[in-house]
Structure 1
Amino acid sequence: MDKELVDIDRKKDKYFKLFEDDILTSQSLKEKLADIDKGKYQLQKRKVEIESQINENNTGTVSAAVVKGILGEFVKLFYKLSSEQRKQLVHTVIKRITVSEDRKIDMIELKFDEYINQ
């Protein structure tokens, strides 16, 4: 939606340039800008609604049973991947692994941890 809003602003700039170059009349410019502003308003309104829904959904807690079920499905899907796909997935998800002096895994930091803590 943010990309669409940026595109809308680019369209407005394009129409202003066409008006400045005497390709569009002032009436045509007003009509086009009115249409664009109407679409932009609807898009912004929808964006606010979606953000509100996301914020409402983020406040709830997830039960351990749901997490366990999702992880169980993930494991099934993970083993269906090729070894190259598994490697890519692991590299995508894991940010850092620290190893203790006795060469045991001390900690695994996931990349999406930074999004959870925001």
Structure 2
Amino acid sequence: MPKKLHTIPVQLAARGAERRAAERVQAEMPISIAGREGITSDLSANGLSFIAEQPYEIGACVEVVIEYLLDGHQYPLHCQAEVVRVRPAPGGYAVGARLTPQSQALLEVPPEGARDSSGL
């Protein structure tokens, strides 16, 4: 009879003061925030950081449109986010925003028609 395997969760790195619930990915992607241009610094399933020319108020709800390329096609991803952090940065302001739960769900499902005819 095969031996029963047990898994033991192992924390790979101490999180310390890290409060993020999802892994961040550094990515510079064009975005539109409340109709103004910006560029992302990083993204996660729960939020994003971006550089903007003007500051935003903490707690402000903003509409964010992230432009991304998938299978050779450009797609706009429309999200709602709450501004949680703003600080001066080169080129403007570094803004951190938490995606609303409805917007977080959008990041988990690829857009319809995003696959090519080969099914990949």
What TM-score results when the alignment is normalised by the length of structure 1? 0.20
Instruction: Name the structure with the higher helix share.
Output: 1
Instruction: Name the structure with the higher strand share.
Output: 2
